[in-house]
Amino acid sequence: MADAPAARSGRAPEPAGPAGQDRRTVLAGALLGAGIAASVVDLAVFHLILHWHHFYDLSTTGVALFSDGLFHAFGWFVTVGSLFLLADVRRRGPVSRGRWAGALLAGLGAFQLFDGVVLHKVLRIHQVRYDVDLLLYDATWIGTAVLALAAGLGVLHRARPARAAR
Amino acid sequence: MSPHHGGPDWAAVEAAAGLVLVAGAAGYAAALWAARHRGPWPGGRTVLWFAGLGCAGASLLGPLAAAAHGSFVAHMVVHLLLGMAAPLLLVLGAPVTLALRALPVAGARSLSRLLRSRPVRVVSHPVVAGTLNAGGLWVLYGTGLYAAMHSSAPVHAAVHAHVLLAGYLFTAAVVGVDPDPHRGSLRLRAAVLVGFLTVHAVLAKRLSGDPPAGVGTADAQLGSRIMYYGGDAVDVALLVVFFAQWYAAGRTRTAPAAV
């Protein structure tokens, strides 16, 4: 792909070549992981299947409610956007499955970690579950998040491009 | 809830809504006929336009519209159909493009002059359209307007007209397919889209704890869940259209540079 003039037409400059392709693959994976954690896991598993999260507990403050809505909106935005980004990467050239999957796992873990620490404990938007001793639930939530993040980073590292030409 | 429902005022409102929908269907069909010699028109757009009219019709006429007078849950279904689903379908029907094809040259020129005029430019700006749409909802559920729309036929008609028109303006500003001389940048439209999704989600959750006067607790809670999850369904459709347009626009970007 020729690199210089293509980026002139009103869009942010796009790094070309294998490095740009790899960067976009990792970005698409990480965003999909975060989006799945934010929208799909939270909505499908904890709201609709387990009924552990409350839809709205009346103690929620205005700030917490607003941040909850903002994360919700971002969750869907990055879930849909990252799939189209992956399609865009594929149409530009070959995609490394390992890099994409590793980034997905890392993104999922990173968002769950953020959710478990910042949203549950700092902003207190909602808790994992109500009317139970939270310590075990929080430890499991944060522990699996750290495991997923570590596993994702491990896969990313193993699948890294062979050449160190960056 | 409303003892007045069924009076002559309400019949007039329903008749007016029916006339607007019939005019929308007849106008589109007439334009298709007038532009028949100008090359093929994508059939999908026609289907989307009539599906949009169908959504609006289901929410304005018939059993659902009648139930919405007494039930917050039915009102929410109407809100989703009329304010979100119908606008998206109607916008994707590309009525302005069709009108430009169908009108004689002088008429098409006046139409495109109108589209470039200052008032149209202002209300179709993504931020203004998004504010009209989300702000209207905030006023409807946060003030006495919700109670007023169920006791006065003219207020009812005005609220519904606003919900449909503001929904259309917002959808057209964010994912419009018709020519838009002042279309906002991709980044601005993305920000407005995320902003609207946020306000909609916050409003839906607040309604479950703090419903408008006269709405029972169980009715409010189910209604707010329908607003939240149903809103998500339409919002995901909006996002798919938004990113599909981004993807399609990238074709030229990734093609081997034409140097």
**pLDDT tens for each residue of B169-207:** 999 999 999 988 888 999 999 999 999 999 999 999 888
d(Cα B112, Cα B96) in Å, to the nearest integer? 9
Helices (H), B103-152: 105-116, 118-123, 126-142, 145-149
- B105-115 mean pLDDT: 93
Confidence class for position A55, pLDDT limits 50, 70, 90: low
- B112-141 mean pLDDT: 93
Indicate if the pLDDT at residue A164 is higher than 60: no
Instruction: Determine, for residues B254 and A91 on separate chains, whether the beta-carbon distance falls below 8 Å.
Output: yes
Chain B residues within an 8 Å CB radius of A24: none
Instruction: Determine, for residues A73 and B232 on separate chains, whether the beta-carbon distance falls below 8 Å.
Output: no
Indicate if the pLDDT at residue A4 is higher than 50: no
**pLDDT tens for each residue of B13-42:** 889 999 999 999 999 999 999 999 888 999
Distance from CA of B168 to the nearest CA of A (A): 20
Instruction: Pick the residue of A3, A42, A72 with the most B CBs within 10 A to test the interface with B by mutation.
Output: A72
Residue owning tokens 């990480």: A30
Distance from CA of A1 to the nearest CA of B (A): 6
Using CB atoms within 10 Å of the CB of residue A48, give its burial: 0 to 12 exposed, 13 to 18 middle, 19+ buried.
Answer: exposed
d(Cα A62, Cα A69) in Å, to the nearest integer? 11
Chain A residues within an 8 Å CB radius of B190: 77
More confidently predicted of A15 and A114: A114
Mark which residues 203-222 of B lie under 8 Å from A by CB.
205-206, 208-209, 221
Say whether pTM exceeds 0.80: yes
ipTM of the complex: 0.86
Q: What Å distances lie between residue B258 and A102, B69, B112, B249, CA to CA? A: 36, 60, 32, 16
Instruction: Determine, for residues B205 and A60 on separate chains, whether the beta-carbon distance falls below 8 Å.
Output: yes
Instruction: Determine, for residues A73 and B253 on separate chains, whether the beta-carbon distance falls below 8 Å.
Output: no
Distance from CA of A153 to the nearest CA of B (A): 28
Instruction: Determine, for residues B205 and A84 on separate chains, whether the beta-carbon distance falls below 8 Å.
Output: no
Residues across chain B? 259
